[in-house]
Amino acid sequence: MDEIQQYMREKAEQVEEKLGEYVKEAPGVPKSLKEAMTYSLMAGGKRLRPTLVLATAEALGGEEAKALPFACAVEMIHTYSLIHDDLPSMDNDDYRRGRLTNHKVYGEAMAILAGDALLTKAFGVMAEGALDAGLPGETALNLIREGAVRAGAEGMVGGQVKDIQGENGKLELEHLQDIHRSKTGDLITFSVRMGALVANATENQLITLTGYAERLGLAFQIQDDVLDVVGDREKLGKPVGSDEEKNKATYPALLGLAASRDWVRNLVEEAKELVRSEPGIRGARLLAIADYLVSRES
Ligand code: GRG
């Protein structure tokens, strides 16, 4: 395992330990709800978003302990979005992170409520984290407000709505990018910005790191589409350029596989160049995470 994978595993373990504490020490929570929340929260996953919070804070010399609650909060928001995305009324998926989806185990009502509870908890955790870290009141409020915008109707939820409305048809590139900017990009950008804000980033550093995160978010999504197409071809034996492949709203369907891969590489190079060019960022880990995104297989 190379250094960055080792680093990501370590960060994932740290986050998981803290997440476990958050759900365990929850007095007054019905046992069944706690179980459903814990089931999805502790189901593994890459923990990319929390790792970005921690790596960004670290790159600016921030204290990891202060960033950890924010890392956990974004993973709670992400997990809620996955639980709801899998519901029968949305993607109707049976498996997620290698195990049965939340609603398959606990029923639809409990899955909806577990997602609701995780989303709400995330905002409590951010507020608590800001108090414990002694963040200036204005910084804390701005951060929490940004979370509401990026996770909500103007961000991830809005992106999901646009995605649902655009389903079953080929979209223009601009439209596809617009969906992903909010559906997946906003939470990734928020992760990096939280790490930066907790570590007292300067205005210029914040702008630069936002640019890094936006490129990373798009690269992540394109790469996800590429992996999907390659997986369908290799594992399911679907033919290259099948109608099904061409009619999906994905980057490979619009641009072809080679051009999609080139785009990912270019975005990652741009993201890395931004980090390298900004004074005061010790960004080796951020560069390595960007590289990992291009090389990841799942
Ligand atoms: C239901 C409000 C609401 C929003 C859902 C994020 C999302 C929005 C849906 C997930 C569906 C999906 C496959 C989106 C593409 C982005 C993506 C690859 C998400 C999965 O994130 P990973 O790969 O998952 O980081 P792990 O399991 O590793 O955390």
ipTM score of complex: 0.91
**Whose Cα sits closest to atom 18 in ligand 1?**
224
User: pTM for this one?
Assistant: 0.95
Residue 224 Cβ < 6 Å to ligand 1: yes
**Cα 41 → chain centroid:** 13
**Whose Cα sits closest to atom 16 in ligand 1?**
184
Distance of alpha carbon 143 from alpha carbon 156, whole angstroms: 16
Residue 82 Cβ < 6 Å to ligand 1: yes
Distance of alpha carbon 143 from alpha carbon 235, whole angstroms: 42
Residue 84 Cβ < 6 Å to ligand 1: yes
Distance of alpha carbon 234 from alpha carbon 249, whole angstroms: 20
Q: Which of 180, 173, 175, 179 is nearest to 254 (CA)?
A: 173
Q: pLDDT tens-digit profile of 38-81?
A: 999 999 999 999 999 999 999 999 999 999 999 999 999 999 99
Walk me through the domains of the chain, giving residue ranges and CATH numbers: 3-295 (1.10.600.10)
Q: pLDDT tens-digit profile of 120-137?
A: 999 999 999 999 999 999
Structure tokens at 197: 């804000």
**Whose Cα sits closest to atom 27 in ligand 1?**
45
Q: Which of 69, 90, 202, 41 is nearest to 134 (CA)?
A: 69
User: What 3-state class would DSSP assign to 128?
Assistant: helix
Cβ-contact 205, 278 below 8 angstroms: yes
Provide, for the chain, the percentages of residues in helix, strand and coil under a 3-state DSSP scheme, each rounded to the nearest 5. 75, 0, 25
